[in-house]
Amino acid sequence: MKTLAAIFLLILIVYNLRIASFSIYKVKPKLYIFIIGILLSLTFFYLWLNYTKDLPGFILGLLAICLFFTFTLGQGLREDGFVLFLGTSPILKFVSFNDIKEVNLSYDRFGDFILEIKAHSTTYKQIYSIGDRDKIIDFLSKNLDYKFNIK
């Protein structure tokens, strides 16, 4: 059973990495993502050490941690659309520019900028580094025309 679960997690990881590999701009990694990843790793290691101590359980735990990092850090902007995290599943979703209704740009209190992407009757938020702002604005202005708004 652990082997089947490991294969399933591996398929999800490869899928997420494949979609995310085409990103030209990645979301800015937040500190809380790494804190959650460390807590997840510590919890896994504690459970593994106290309950199973077998190699398949160890591999399964490592794959689960890798999956967490692929869907949190794999989001970004591609040449042909956005790579988005749905929030309800660990699978990244590609949304082409044709499916996007509107993109709004705003700023947070830390100086980074937020893209609010409206597609498929849902609003997705992605935070990018301020250093990429001008390049991303130029890129989106060329590809989205009237759908791109700066607040």
* Separation between Cα atoms, residue 137 and residue 120, nearest integer Å: 22
Token pair 């893209």 in the structure block, residue: 115
pLDDT tens-place string over residues 94-141: 999 999 999 999 988 888 889 999 998 899 999 999 889 899 999 998
Query: Is the confidence at residue 46, as pLDDT, over 80?
Result: yes
Cα separation, 56 vs 62, in Å, equals 10
Q: What is the predicted pLDDT for the residue at 112?
A: 87
Q: Tell me the β-bridge partners of 128.
A: 113
CATH number for the domain whose boundaries are 2-150? 2.30.29.30
- Token pair, residue 1, equals 């059973």
Tell me the average pLDDT of the chain: 92
* pLDDT of the residue at 117: 94
Measured in whole angstroms, the distance separating CA 144 from the mean position of its chain's CA atoms is 21
Instruction: Please tell me the predicted confidence (pLDDT) of residue 87.
Output: 84
Output the furthest CA–CA distance in the chain (Å, rounded).
57
**pLDDT value at position 151?**
65
pLDDT surpasses 90 at 82: yes
Q: How far apart are the first and last CA of the chain?
A: 51
